[in-house]
């Protein structure tokens, strides 16, 4: 830490993103990226836009906002785009949390929530999930704090039905409820249909997973127009050109190519189910995932141990060395070929310990 670093950040522990190693070619199953390239339409529009990069991007993101409003059945003033959905989560903490409105989220969830609270000086409460990593909805009913829920949850992949989230929304009318739907396209039930009914609902989404644009950095929030106006106040006060021109057009192309989107997500769901069934045969236990990853443990391997054994074999998965997660690994669902390689490695490793 330099002597110039503000004291208000002295105790900040930054989020640790999944590894992006450059030392060798890995089968990358550690950051829940799509194994498929962006839609050809997204690629073509982004390439065309490269010739316009001398000009700033449209801060209002008009083309993208109107394409998304149409695709998701909401009004343009109910949407705001950001640089990945991490960015809108940060704006949501800035906008809707403070000492009088602390944040609340499960103890096992996306690790960035607590970091965003820390960097913004916001108090937060973590409510433990049940032993099987399910969420007790009653814990959040009438909690009176700004609620952050990943649905499906990370890293477990466990989804919550929309009617359960409605109980949280209706019992907390004076608090914002942020529903992070980063993985919803792989089998979750979206709350987008509740926009218009609940003024305290903010749904966040990303193009990083189901639309194969993780490197483009594109996310968005959908909510009541007054919430979106607040979020835009902060966006225009920090980085009004937060979406670059090429990403904006890649987003337009990705939304237009619904057929490609459906083919990719359906394939991931199929491969997830097949991989889960094969892993269960090898003795793995897992949470019921509705996301593009599996959260698994094996009685004969420690979590860190299995992570290291796979890494030695050129397969990268995500391990979290925290008390509740240390026996597990989160494995992204890759291509059929990636999963064949994974299963071969796992057959070999479990066979050695039979």
Element (H, E) at 336: helix 336-352
Q: How many CB atoms lie within 10 A of CB 25?
A: 8
Phi and psi at residue 18, to the nearest 5°: -60, 150
From 52-60, 81-89, 159-167, 220-228, span contacting ligand PMP (CB under 6 A): 81-89
For the CB of residue 299, give the shortest distance to ligand PMP in the complex, in Å. Answer: 27
CA distance 236 to 15: 25
What whole-number distance in Å separates Cα of residue 198 and Cα of residue 169? 7
CA 102 to chain centre: 22
* Four-point Cα dihedral 30, 32, 35, 41, nearest 10: -150
DSSP conformation class of 315: E
Q: Which is nearer to ligand PMP, 26 or 110 (CB)?
A: 110
Q: Closest distance between ligand PMP and the C-beta of residue 155, in Å?
A: 8
> At closest approach, how far in Å is the CB of 206 from ligand PMP?
3
By CB under 6 A, name the one of 106, 159, 219, 221 that touches ligand PMP: 219
Closest CB 182 distance from ligand PMP, rounded Å: 4
Place of tokens 């959260």: 295
Q: Among residues 78, 86, 230, 327, which is the contact residue for ligand PMP, using CB under 6 A? A: 86
Residues between 275 and 294 with contacts to ligand PMP, criterion CB under 6 A: none
CB-CB contact of 325 with 191 (8 Å)? no
Which residue in the shown chain puts its C-beta closest to ligand PMP? 84
Residue 16: how many other CB atoms lie within 10 Å: 9
Site for ligand PMP, residues 154 to 193, rule: CB under 6 A: 154, 180, 182
| 257 touches ligand PMP (CB under 6 A) | no
What is the tally of helices (H) and strands (E) in the chain? 10, 12
Task: Compute the least distance from the CB of residue 7 to ligand PMP, in Å.
Answer: 29
Among 117, 150, 248, 349, interactor with ligand PMP by CB under 6 A: 150
Q: How far is the CB of 141 from ligand PMP (least distance, A)?
A: 22
Q: Which of 71, 79, 81 is nearest to 206 (CA)?
A: 81
Residue closer to ligand PMP by CB (options 28, 298) is 28
**Residues making contact with ligand PMP (CB under 6 A):** 84-86, 110, 150, 154, 180, 182, 206, 208, 214, 219
């Amino acid at each position: 830490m330099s002597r110039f670093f503000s004291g208000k950040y002295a105790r900040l522990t930054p989020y640790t993103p999944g590894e992006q190693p450059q030392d060798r070619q890995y089968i990358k199953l550690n950051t829940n990226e799509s194994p498929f390239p962006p839609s050809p339409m997204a690629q073509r529009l982004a390439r065309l836009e490269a010739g316009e990069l001398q000009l700033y991007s449209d801060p209002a993101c008009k083309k993208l906002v109107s394409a998304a409003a149409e695709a998701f059945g909401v009004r343009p003033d109910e949407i705001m785009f950001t640089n990945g959905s991490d960015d809108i989560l940060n704006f949501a903490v800035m906008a809707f949390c403070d000492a009088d409105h602390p944040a609340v989220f499960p103890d096992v969830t996306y690790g960035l929530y607590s970091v965003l609270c820390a960097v913004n000086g916001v108090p937060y409460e973590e409510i433990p999930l049940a032993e099987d990593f399910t969420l007790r909805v009653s814990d959040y009913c009438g909690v009176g704090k700004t609620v952050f829920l990943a649905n499906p949850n990370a890293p477990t992949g466990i989804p919550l039905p929309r009617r359960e989230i409605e109980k949280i929304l209706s019992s907390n009318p004076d608090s914002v409820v942020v529903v992070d739907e980063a993985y919803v396209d792989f089998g979750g039930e979206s709350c987008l249909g509740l926009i218009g009914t609940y003024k305290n609902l903010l749904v966040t989404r990303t193009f990083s997973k189901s639309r194969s644009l993780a490197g483009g950095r594109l996310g968005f929030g959908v909510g009541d127009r007054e919430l979106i106006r607040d979020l835009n106040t902060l966006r225009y006060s920090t980085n009004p050109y937060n979406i670059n021109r090429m990403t904006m057009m890649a987003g337009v192309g990705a939304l237009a190519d619904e057929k490609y989107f459906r083919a990719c997500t359906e394939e991931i769901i199929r491969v997830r189910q097949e991989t889960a069934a094969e892993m269960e045969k090898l003795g793995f236990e897992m949470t019921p995932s509705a996301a593009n990853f599996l959260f698994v443990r094996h009685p004969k391997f420690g979590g860190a141990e299995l992570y290291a054994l796979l890494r030695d074999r050129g397969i990268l998965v995500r391990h979290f060395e925290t008390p509740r997660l240390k026996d597990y690994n989160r494995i992204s669902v890759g291509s059929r070929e990636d999963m064949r390689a994974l299963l071969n490695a796992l057959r070999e490793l479990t066979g050695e310990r039979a």
